Amino acid sequence: MTMDPAHGTIGGEETDQRDVQKNNFADLGDNSQPHQEPRRVNNDPRARPQKGNQPRRDRRDVHGWVVLDKPIGMTSTQAVAVLKRLFNAKRAGHAGTLDPLASGGLPIALGEATKTVPFVMDGRKRYQFTVCWGEERDTDDIEGRVTATSDQRPTREAILALLPRFTGVIEQVPPRYSAIKVQGERAYDLARDGEVVELAPRPVEIHHLTLVDQPDSDRAVFEAECGKGTYVRALARDMGRILGTYGHICALRRTLVGPFDENDMIPLDQLEALCDRAASGEGSLADALMPVETALDDIPALAVTRADAARLHRGQAVLLRGRDAPTSSGTVYVTVAGRLLALAEVGNGEIIPKRVFNLTGLTASSGRNERN
């Protein structure tokens, strides 16, 4: 687990929708759970297509983010499908895969929020993960085949002394079972076919790595905050080797994805309950949505007049004028009357629209416009 989650990227950036078929702890780091929870979601009729001649509801426009606290046993693809059905939404996608055996934050974009997915994917990720010492596995997680064993176990002092070596910008060799492409093929596909996959090291950034707990000599719990492309599985593998033993990920939980943290997560059963209340007229699914612009927290906002907004909405550039015109350049998100209008580039004295938003339909309720 991207600490990611599907295929072990600490952020899941290196994975795609096919990764979920691997069903491993690739990034068991996303929300470390030392035991496997029951896969109740797969038994939920909402989690799979219905048979029979049931009428199909017309999809509707729904715009916003839902940060699902994904349970163990559910694939990221299933999670997107479930939410798409709950909201009866036309479009949905996620911002960073989480393997079935990982839990934690899975940001799901609905409607126009899908245009902001890259900004979440490029953000920092935080994982809590458990490393089991004494075994190295071919997938670097709990579901792989054991390839080496050791009776040695690291002391707390040895682990603490090692952590600085894995902090900052480091060179990391991705796991053989990863979604990285080798001559047009996914590395994990080649590895499954028995081919020897040699992946080149690449720089990744780990902002911090701490030892959270050491419940016994066989296990250690860590927290890592890292940048795009970091593999938590590789982190466990490399630490084990340097400590004179072996290691693999045996639990993973993701607690931060870009601007979304644990305070933003909502469990599936709560979403289903909200859906049931909304169907009976006792609430609104808008209460579960976070605004599209939540994904743009690190980008400056620029307010424009209604006249300028009309030009930008047509895809036309707008000249910057007046003493209140911004002096900086780069990407901004543009608002009109407090409402998100477009992603744009500011430079050479003008605003150039790049992505225009059409937020007609169901959006976040006013109460979700302010972050807790």
- Is the CB of residue 4 less than 8 Å from the CB of residue 11? yes
Handedness of CA 319, 322, 328, 334 (dihedral sign): negative
- Is the CB of residue 267 less than 8 Å from the CB of residue 274? no
- Is the CB of residue 170 less than 8 Å from the CB of residue 204? yes
> Would you list the DSSP string of 256-295?
EETTEEGGGEEEHHHHHHHHHHHHTTS--GGGG-B-GGGG
Tokens standing for 332? 């901004």
Residue that has been written with the tokens 């499954």 in this structure = 192
The DSSP output letter for 30 is B
Q: Give, rounded to a whole angstrom, the gap between the first and last alpha carbons of the chain.
A: 28
Chain length of the chain: 372
- Checking 353-359 for CB contacts under 8 A at 24+ apart, the result is 353/312, 353/313, 353/315, 353/316, 353/317, 355/115, 356/312, 356/313, 356/315, 357/63, 357/112, 357/115, 357/292, 358/112, 359/63, 359/112, 359/292
Clarify whether 99 is annotated catalytic.
Answer: yes
Please state, in angstroms and as integers, the Cα–Cα distance from residue 187 to each residue in 30, 172, 199, 249, 323, following that order. Answer: 22, 16, 8, 19, 54
Tokens standing for 343? 């992603």
Q: What is the rounded CA–CA span in Å between residue 56 and residue 30? A: 35
Q: What is the rounded CA–CA span in Å between residue 252 and residue 2? A: 10
Q: What angle do CA 133, 228, 345 make, to 5 degrees?
A: 170
Catalytic-labelled residue, pool 4, 30, 69, 99: 99
Catalytic residues: 99
